[in-house]
Structure 1
Amino acid sequence: MEARTEAVEVVRRYWASVWSRDWDGVGRTLADDVEVFWPVTREIIRGRDNMVAVNSEYPNGWSIDVLNVYDAGETVVSEVQVPQEDVGIFRVVSIWTVIDGVITSGREYWTLYGGEEGHGWRRKYVDVGDLPS
């Protein structure tokens, strides 16, 4: 397995390629048999071609802001903001496994930023707002 800093760079290249719509570049960051799970919708994307297609066929009007990329030992965790015209801002936390220079698996939690209201019982304990990235 490569040095962890190399794994972080693979994830950074993945997001940079998605943002620039370099679909061949996206493919180069993924294993042939990559498997990515989206728990919020319970969708499983299997294979490089399907992962590239899911990204490339998404309607335009979005951008990518990489907020943080964390080296977490056996995994790399990324936090990304995806503003989408006429929809809002998505936030995604991705937990990636990188082996031999490619992403072999991932789990991505996509959510609409501020898309849910907190429970009323917590209001006396919390503030609602934004924190810097």
Structure 2
Amino acid sequence: MTSKDVVLSFWNAMQTNDFAKASEWLSPDFEGFWPQSGELIVGKDNFAAINSYYSANGIW
């Protein structure tokens, strides 16, 4: 699998709003920084949780 395949697979999962599935494509030591709010999301489970609670209507 190429790097491009990984990125496309991640965004395909994000489009379904299945954030647990999308998080499977993240590294075990994932950290995501949201500069607008200053939030730091640490770990796959937290990534899935915060995105699940965010009101996402439609595809990404």
Q: Pick the TM interval, shorter chain.
A: 0.7 to 0.9
Larger strand proportion, structure 1 or 2? 1
Would you say the 8 A contact 1:33–1:47 is kept in 2?
yes
Unaligned runs of 5+ in 1: 65-133
User: One-letter code of the match for 1:62?
Assistant: G
Rounded to whole Å, the distance in 1 between the matches of 2:37 and 2:5 is: 28
- Among 5, 10, 32, the alignment partner of 1:9 is 5
Residue 33 (1) aligns with residue 12 (2): no
Once the 2 structures are TM-superposed, how far is the Cα of residue 17 of structure 1 from its aligned partner? 0.5
- State the match for 1:91 in structure 2: none
- State the match for 2:56 in structure 1: 60
Q: Structure 1 vs Structure 2: percent identity of aligned residues?
A: 32
Rounded to whole Å, the distance in 2 between the matches of 1:38 and 1:60 is: 16
- State the match for 1:46 in structure 2: 42
Larger helix proportion, structure 1 or 2? 2
Rounded to whole Å, the distance in 2 between the matches of 1:31 and 1:38 is: 17
Task: Provide TM-score, normalisation by structure 1.
Answer: 0.40
User: One-letter code of the match for 2:51?
Assistant: N
Unaligned runs of 5+ in 2: none
Task: Provide TM-score, normalisation by structure 2.
Answer: 0.76
Would you say the 8 A contact 2:17–2:56 is kept in 1?
no
Superposed, 1:117-128 pairs within 5 Å as none
Once the 2 structures are TM-superposed, how far is the Cα of residue 23 of structure 1 from its aligned partner? 3.2
- Among 17, 21, 24, the alignment partner of 1:21 is 17
Once the 2 structures are TM-superposed, how far is the Cα of residue 22 of structure 1 from its aligned partner? 2.7
Superposed, 1:92-111 pairs within 5 Å as none
Rounded to whole Å, the distance in 2 between the matches of 1:26 and 1:19 is: 9
| Higher RCO, Cα 8 Å, sep 6+ | 2
